[in-house]
Amino acid sequence: TMSSFMYFPFCAIYCTLSTSRITFYTYYEDKYALVNEMFADYIQEADQNYHDLQARNNPGGDGFIGYENLLECILQLFYNNIRFFSHSTPEENPYLFSVFFNHIFLSVDDYLQRHTGLAARYSTKEVAALLCNGFWGVISICHSEKMSREAVCERVKAMYNDILLSDLFRRK
């Protein structure tokens, strides 16, 4: 497993990849560089998914639907990579959780700054932190409680809609 990444033996990484230590170091400075590249790839996957969803179900740019598409991308990212993310919890791997949070936080903050359909009453950084850390935590906890994918998605989407309909946002 990916347990305790900071203490994860380096040999286990390149041995699992069926590569030599020299080959690994040709491409990566260390195991942290590998993780950063993996997370950058995950963010790129979610970003492409978001643009596909927007083109398909939100050509008019409705703010509410845009936020729903953003959440859908986060859910799909988690479930498309469940073997990895199920071990990236604050309890099991605080380092991986923190690094991924920072990557997704920057993407969501950028999205919030460019978004024009709904205006947050608080700074984009504060809202991005709430949405990213809060929902990523909820997804992880629901999964660890053995909820089905459908139940997790339903629960998180309901919470998300409640937040979007609250006083936290106002339609422009």
What the block records as the tokens of 78 is 């988690």
pLDDT, tens digit (0-9, with 9 covering 90-100), for 101-113: 888 888 888 888 8
Amino acid present at 6:
M
Residue 151: pLDDT band (50, 70, 90) is very high
107, 47 contact by CB (below 8 A): yes
pLDDT, tens digit (0-9, with 9 covering 90-100), for 36-79: 888 889 889 999 999 999 999 999 988 889 888 988 998 899 89
Q: What is the pTM of this model?
A: 0.74
Euclidean distance between CA atoms 114 and 133, whole angstroms: 20
Question: Rounded to the nearest 5 degrees, what angle is found at the Cα of 41, between the Cα atoms of 37 and 88?
Answer: 75
Q: Residue 116: is its pLDDT beyond 90?
A: no
